[in-house]
Amino acid sequence: MNIDAIMLLTVAALALSGFVQSVTGFGFGLVSMSLLPLFLSFNDAYTVVAILNLVVCAMTLAGNIRHYRWRQGLGLLIGSCLAVPVGFYALMHVQSDWMLRSLGLLICLFTLSDMLMSKTRPLRVPEKYGWAMGALSGGLSGAFNAGGPPAVIYVYSQSWTKEHTVALLQVVFGTSSVIRLLMVHSSGLLRGELLRVGLLAIVPLMLAIYVGTRILHRIPRERLRLIVFVFLFLIGVKYLFRL
C-alpha cells in the first residue's frame, strides 16, 4: 500500500470516528484506535490519535467551560494524570504484538459490557472512588489512547449536571492527551509526517462531527450504536487472535 493510500485511509478513519462519536456519544479514541492499526503500526496510530484527541477535547470544552467546577471530579483528574505515564511505559516496553492483543481484549470486553449493561441497571460508582477510576482511565489512555470507559462510567454515576459532566470529561481526556503528547515527543515517536497527517485530518474530522451533530435526530441511534459495537467487536477479535 502506497503512502497516499495510507494517508487517505487514515484521514477517513479519523473522520468516521468523529462522526460516530457525534451521533452515538461513543469515544473517539477507542473507535480510531480500533481502525488505524489495520493499516498503520500501533505506535504510529497511537501518535496520530493523541494529536487529534486533544483537538476534539479542546473544541468540545470550549462550548462547556463555563459549567466546569474544578472541585467536582478532582480525584478523577489527578488519578488519570498520575497513571498516564504508567500506561505509556507499557506501550514503550511491551512488544507491539502483545499490545494489539491487549487492545483486542479491551475492545471485546468494553463492547460486550456496554451492550449487556445497557439493558440492565447502570453501574453506580461512589464519588470517593474517583481517583481509582481516574487511575484506570489514565492507564488505559497511556497504553491505548482509549481511557474513556472507566471515566465515563464514573462521571455518569454522579448527580452532576450534564454540562459539567461533559466539561469534566474533556478536561480529563484533554489533560491526559497533553501528557501523552509530551511523552510521545520525548520518546521520538512524534515524527513530522505523523504531525502532517494529524493536521490534514482536522478539517475532515470537524466536518464529520458537524454532519453527525446535524443529523443526530434523523438516525435510529440505538440501531447505529449496535452496528458500531458489533463491528468493533469483530475488530477486537481480529486483534486478540491476530487473524
> For residues 146 and 33, is the Cβ–Cβ distance under 8 A?
yes
Task: Indicate if the pLDDT at residue 120 is higher than 60.
Answer: no
> For residues 164 and 72, is the Cβ–Cβ distance under 8 A?
yes
For residues 177-192, average pLDDT: 89
Question: What pTM value is reported for the model?
Answer: 0.77
Exposure class string for 64-81: b at 16+ Cβ within 10 A, else e: beeebeeebbebbbbbbb
Domain layout of the chain by residue ranges: 3-241
Would you state the cell numbers that stand for residue 226, as one nine-digit string? 449496535
Q: Residue 219, Cβ neighbours under 10 Å: how many?
A: 13
Listed in sequence order, the residues at least 6 apart from 13 whose beta carbon sits closer than 8 Å to its beta carbon are 32, 35, 36
Confidence of residue 119 (pLDDT cuts 50, 70, 90): low
What's the pLDDT tens digit per position in 193-225?
888 888 889 999 889 888 877 776 676 756 766
Task: Please give the mean pLDDT across all residues of the chain.
Answer: 83
The confidence score (pLDDT) of residue 222 equals 67
CA-atom Rg of the chain in angstroms = 17
Q: Residue 113, Cβ neighbours under 10 Å: how many?
A: 13
The confidence score (pLDDT) of residue 7 equals 86
> For residues 87 and 144, is the Cβ–Cβ distance under 8 A?
yes
Look up residue 21 and give its amino acid: Q
- DSSP labels, 171-239: HHHHHHHHHHHHHHHHHT---HHHHHHHHHHHHHHHHHHHHHHHTGGGS-HHHHHHHHHHHHHHHHHHH
> For residues 166 and 22, is the Cβ–Cβ distance under 8 A?
no
Would you state the cell numbers that stand for residue 81, as one nine-digit string? 494524570
Nearest to 133 by CA among 112, 157, 106, 165: 157
The confidence score (pLDDT) of residue 123 equals 60
Nearest to 232 by CA among 115, 90, 91, 122: 115
For residues 62-69, average pLDDT: 81
Confidence of residue 31 (pLDDT cuts 50, 70, 90): confident
Q: Which of 15 and 161 is assigned the larger pLDDT?
A: 15
> For residues 140 and 87, is the Cβ–Cβ distance under 8 A?
yes
